[in-house]
Structure 1
């Protein structure tokens, strides 16, 4: 009876150790797959940025920040883009001195490229948001009124 108990215990411990090794190996495999996918998407995005004239971070930085799924950018791109558009389209002053500034349309194009690369299912919502902006020569603030035309 004692021999069987020792044998069964040894077999159980061996199976647990093998199971733990398999889990660690599988997790490492998943990480490598995610890393490859992140690097491929980062290379695609970096090339697209260069194509439209945006100086981007290096591919390794893009891969670390956005990962393989777009990270925080794809969690809620409308809110993120809205916040960055509102912050990026002001003069940097605080209080009463704050006023809208011209927003470089390449930044919106860059945001669109990120969404196109990492979360294309949210591209339509992003396009709807950009269409809601009143982009003219003086401002890009959402809902802002165009400058009144001068009377002749």
Structure 2
């Protein structure tokens, strides 16, 4: 007898059934995953659009200009972007605004109050749990009136 054993027709049929069933199972799982991914993306987009609408309502109520909802949806998503991820760091970056010149011409710029008000509204709508952290980061800043 050789090193290779012969496979009977019954074994071939059994393997074919096993491989076919496994392949079909993988295809079904992939289809279910694709459907779930599409639903998740649609829900996230609807949530982001709802928050953008809510932020625009808050901006108008505060006497500020509304922003294109598509821009807000893309920039802030559902979680408020960098402002909600690190309120103190973002405020520090705003506080460090300069004229853009280098060397002796570089001068600090006082951040406009409306910029901070708008950021505060973003925090209020997208991450209300970080309002205290945002307020602490603002303490001591000199803002343009």
Q: Same fold (TM over 0.5)?
A: yes
- Give the length in aligned residue pairs: 135
RMSD of aligned alpha carbons: 1.9
Structure number with bigger Rg: 2
What is aligned with 1:97? 105
Written as runs of structure 1 = structure 2, the 5 A alignment for 1:2-151 is 2-87=12-97, 90-135=98-143
Distance 2:29 2:144 in 1: 62
Distance 1:25 1:129 in 2: 43
What's the TM-score once normalised by structure 1's chain length?
0.79
Q: Which runs of 5+ in 1 are unaligned?
A: 138-152
What's the TM-score once normalised by structure 2's chain length?
0.82
Q: Deviations over 1:17-75 (max 9, x none)?
A: 00011111111111111111100001111111122222243001100111111122222
Q: Which runs of 5+ in 2 are unaligned?
A: 1-9
